[in-house]
Amino acid sequence: MPASSHAHHARHNKSPAGKRSALIGFPGLGDDNTVIPPDTDGAVGPANLVVALNSQIEIQTRAGTLISSVSLLTFWSSLSVGTVTDPRVIYDPYGQRWVIVTAADPETTASAVLIGVSHNSDPTAGWDLYRVPVDPMGLRWGDFPTVGFNRNWIVVGINMFTIQGTFYEFANLYVFDKAGLYAGGSGLFTLLQDDTGGFAMNPALTYDPNLATLYLLESWSSANGLLRMSTITGAVGSEVLTTAVALPAASQPWQAVEPTLNFAPQLGSTKDIDTDDDRLDWTVYRNGSLWTAQTIFLPASGTPNRCSVQWWQIDTAAGDLGGIQQRGRIDDRPRRSSSPIRRSASIARMTRWSGIRGFRQRSTQAPASRCGWPLTRPAHCAPAPYSRRARPLTSRTWAQEIIDGVISAARSSIRSTI
């Protein structure tokens, strides 16, 4: 049932800086090896990049000049949080605002969603910061935030786990009044909950200034090759979540999780790298289509010997809602010890019928990021959903997450500047 609330609000100011520059190739924010996993993310605006890791946030010009770098915890310090993880960064070209979302104090009664909105298109000109406790009763905590927007809302999704035993229960969706957030208001939102099996529900970045519907996608059944499409509709303050408006179906199934923890090889170490699962990372709406990408594990039966990238273009038109317009895989088979493992796919949608897809590529030679041109854990599925949270680096060796944030930034640049 929808419930309205106000978020705790604080103001965070920085001095203005930065100017427009051509987008060129340069290093983004690298992992400082203090937190695992780094959870790299980022976006591009008219004049700046904002790249966030679990350890820090960096602002650069579009030419790569460093403007500022602070720890992720310092960025949110005015909200009195103890631990932060899973940062997400987007740029809204219509409202000309940056939005940063982060999970706070996981596995504790203080668990919260944090959302920050820039004062304007300059990420150095100050931010309004908000904290939303995920469970006032203190029985659950939130993990793996997702974020999307349309003309009316900023929508943040999060997976809800019990503190006692860490069992997955349901998905929360915080539907913020976008106009109120952008005006520095109190942070009014509607809470929608899905207990029908939704997990890592992925609200679309909606690149249409007039579309009132906000679409959500999630991986639904790997064994049957299904995603699930849902919608948020209604007036601001009276939003309605409708689940399973369509089940986009692939002709080929896949497996949803790595066969063993830390499935991918790492250069110079016997310690391998976690490849997670098939949850969607980002969803983009443009020109009537939803575009998304995911990590999948192959072959679809037996023990997986590789992870690959699967990308989708899905129709939202009446009469073909959920229809597959395009779908592809980036896959090396069979996997040899020296062949690449691809994971953490991201996708950008350009103005015409093409897109850019990015992914992390692993091999015994080196981990790296790649980009190129493209042509689940619901409760009813096994194994059960599991949480992902950052933790301090210990003696365990991890490869540096090389600039996945720049891949995210590149796709945001395409979306926001054309």
Range from 75-79, 115-119, 343-347 carrying the lowest mean pLDDT: 343-347
Q: Report the pLDDT value the prediction gives residue 377, as an integer from 0 to 100.
A: 35
Please check whether residue 290 is in contact with residue 304, taking contact to mean a CB–CB distance below 8 angstroms: no
Distance CA(412)–CA(410), nearest Å, equals 5
Q: Is pLDDT larger for residue 202 or for residue 1?
A: 202
Is pTM, for the whole model, over 0.95? no
Q: Report the pLDDT value the prediction gives residue 158, as an integer from 0 to 100.
A: 98
Q: State CA 35 to chain mean position distance.
A: 18
Cα torsion through 231, 187, 209, 230, rounded to 10: -10
Q: What is the mean pLDDT of residues 17-46?
A: 78
Q: Is pLDDT larger for residue 389 or for residue 111?
A: 111
Please check whether residue 267 is in contact with residue 367, taking contact to mean a CB–CB distance below 8 angstroms: yes
Q: What is the mean pLDDT of residues 114-137?
A: 98
What value does the mean pLDDT of the chain take? 81
Q: Report the pLDDT value the prediction gives residue 279, as an integer from 0 to 100.
A: 96
* Side-chain-side CA neighbours of residue 341 (13 Å): 30
Is residue 148 predicted with pLDDT exceeding 70? Answer: yes
Q: How confident is the model at residue 9 (pLDDT cuts 50, 70, 90)?
A: low
Task: Give me the percent of the chain exceeding a pLDDT of 70.
Answer: 74
Is residue 397 predicted with pLDDT exceeding 50? Answer: no
Range from 209-213, 328-332, 396-400 carrying the lowest mean pLDDT: 396-400
Number of domains in the chain: 1
Q: Report the pLDDT value the prediction gives residue 382, as an integer from 0 to 100.
A: 37
Range of the domain at 196: 3-417
Per-residue pLDDT tens for 305-349? 998 999 999 999 999 999 999 999 998 766 444 445 555 555 654
Distance CA(342)–CA(40), nearest Å, equals 16
Q: Report the pLDDT value the prediction gives residue 353, as an integer from 0 to 100.
A: 40
C-alpha angle with apex 159: 262 to 98, nearest 5 degrees?
A: 95
CB neighbourhood size of 107 (10 A): 14
At 74, which helix (H) or strand (E)? helix 72-75
CATH assignment of the domain containing 239 = 2.120.10
Is residue 8 predicted with pLDDT exceeding 60? Answer: no
Q: What is the mean pLDDT of residues 33-44?
A: 90
Q: Which two tokens stand for residue 122?
A: 């300059």
